[in-house]
Amino acid sequence: MSALIAAFYFFYFALIGVHVIFIPKILTMVGYDPLHIGIILASAPLVRFAIPFLFLQGFQLNQRTFFTALALMLIGAGGFYPALTHFYPLLGVNILFGIGISLVLPYIEVIALEHIGKENYGRIRLFGSFGFIAVSLVLVKFLTAPYIGIDFLIAMALLTLTFGALIGSQQAHTPANECSSNEEGCTFSIVEHIPLWIGFFLMQVSFGPFYNFFTIYTTDHGVSLDTTVWLWSFGVIAEIIMFYFQGRLLHRNLNALLWITAAITALRWLLVALFPNSLFILFATQSLHAFSFALFHTAAISVLFSLYKARRLSQQFFFGISYGLGGFIGAIGAGVVYQYAPTYLFVAGAIAALGATFAFRINNR
């Protein structure tokens, strides 16, 4: 099972790499402005936010739902091909793609934590980082036309579906529900831990400028696309190192790790804002991805894994509220800021990360 999960992570995050690094650049290549790019890229996170609420109405993240999500992910990726130059059709297929990816990863994350444990999770999850960096280094050499990037998107979606289906087929006999409805403590409530969820939300809002406009931002400041891909790759290398060695850190206060990594993220975005032309500073800020993504992500899902008995539902809401609502607001906000006040793009990200820091500090008391 560990090998299958590692392969799934490799191709899933290779798929995310194409979508995050190259789709914004592809959209500029075919003539979209920053505001329209922000709207298109915000649609998938918005879906991520909406879907978890279905689970409160009895919808279940079971094997059948998982296989349906894999299919929607592939159909959405394929839809980029005919829809690329048409705003509303492209918005529609990106929403379909968002539905798929919003359901697929939480299902696998719970399986990974159950089979591997939080101490060894990072050593399997790092294969996702390898996938992200591999596709970025390969695609940058071949991206001479927009549709080449779409070909890569479809290929990664197909391989993700293949390994996801292999994992899902081995979970055929697991119960659809995580715990019985009358089990004491088998409930899910955001209200009981409001500062924690506000922190999750603001942390991903802060990533809006990075995930949606970092490639455009750096190239607009004179950094070549090749060098920008190396910046992305360097961040992922730092992430890989952290995933491999983070086991001991996870025995410490997980809530403290959340506010510390959020504070580091605020510093990271501020440095990007102040020194957009300095390759040394940009590479240094990318090294902080080890904390602002790798350590933060593992600490966050581990906190929820221990906090709630309804583990799949808690992971769904984590991805929905952070990567979903936070990603949506971050993408839209970044699009607006970059359209009208581009010099303040990463200052806005730093403010959001600082807000997350305070929220996690309050939760840690």
Cα(31)–Cα(299) distance, integer angstroms: 40
Cα(73)–Cα(77) distance, integer angstroms: 6
- Domain containing residue 61: 2-364
Return the closest-CA partner of residue 322 out of 52, 111, 122.
Answer: 52
For the ranges 58-67, 71-80, 96-105, the lowest mean pLDDT is seen at: 58-67
Cα(137)–Cα(306) distance, integer angstroms: 37
Question: Residue 31 gets which letter from DSSP?
Answer: T
End-to-end alpha-carbon separation of the chain, Å? 39
What residue type is 206 in one-letter code?
S
Give every CB contact of residue 151 below 8 A, 6+ residues apart in sequence. none
Return the closest-CA partner of residue 95 out of 76, 80, 78.
Answer: 76
Beta carbons of 197 and 316 less than 8 angstroms apart = no
Q: What is the structure's pLDDT at 258?
A: 93
Q: What is the structure's pLDDT at 135?
A: 86
Cα(42)–Cα(46) distance, integer angstroms: 6
- Please count the other Cβ atoms lying within 10 Å of the Cβ belonging to residue 158: 15
194-206 helix and 254-274 helix, angle to the nearest 10 degrees: 30
Residue 198: pLDDT over 90? yes
34-50 helix and 87-116 helix, angle to the nearest 10 degrees: 40
Torsion from C-alpha of 159, 8, 287, 139, nearest 10 degrees:
-10
Residue 77: pLDDT over 80? yes
For residue range 130-162, list pLDDT tens digits in order: 898 888 888 878 877 888 889 999 999 999 999
More confident residue, 111 or 89: 89
- Please count the other Cβ atoms lying within 10 Å of the Cβ belonging to residue 185: 8
Locate 220 and state its tokens: 């607009």
- How much is the pTM? 0.74
For residue range 278-298, list pLDDT tens digits in order: 999 999 999 999 999 889 988
| Number of structural domains the chain divides into | 1
For residue range 159-189, list pLDDT tens digits in order: 999 999 998 887 654 444 455 444 555 566 7
Place of tokens 């970044």: 334
Cα(48)–Cα(321) distance, integer angstroms: 8
> Residue 195: exposed, middle, or buried by beta-carbon count in 10 A (0-12, 13-18, 19+)?
middle
Q: What is the structure's pLDDT at 306?
A: 80
Residue 258 has phi, psi (to 5 degrees) of -65, -50
What residue type is 267 in one-letter code?
L
208-220 helix and 345-364 helix, angle to the nearest 10 degrees: 150
For the ranges 236-245, 263-272, 283-292, the lowest mean pLDDT is seen at: 236-245
Residue 348 has phi, psi (to 5 degrees) of -60, -40
Beta carbons of 146 and 29 less than 8 angstroms apart = yes
Helices (H) and strands (E) in the chain, counts: 18, 0
Q: Sign of dihedral through CA atoms 171, 75, 90, 54?
A: negative
Question: Residue 309 gets which letter from DSSP?
Answer: S
* Mean pLDDT of all residues in 95-103: 88
63-83 helix and 146-169 helix, angle to the nearest 10 degrees: 170
Q: What is the CATH number of the domain that holds 220?
A: 1.20.1250.20
Cα(132)–Cα(140) distance, integer angstroms: 12
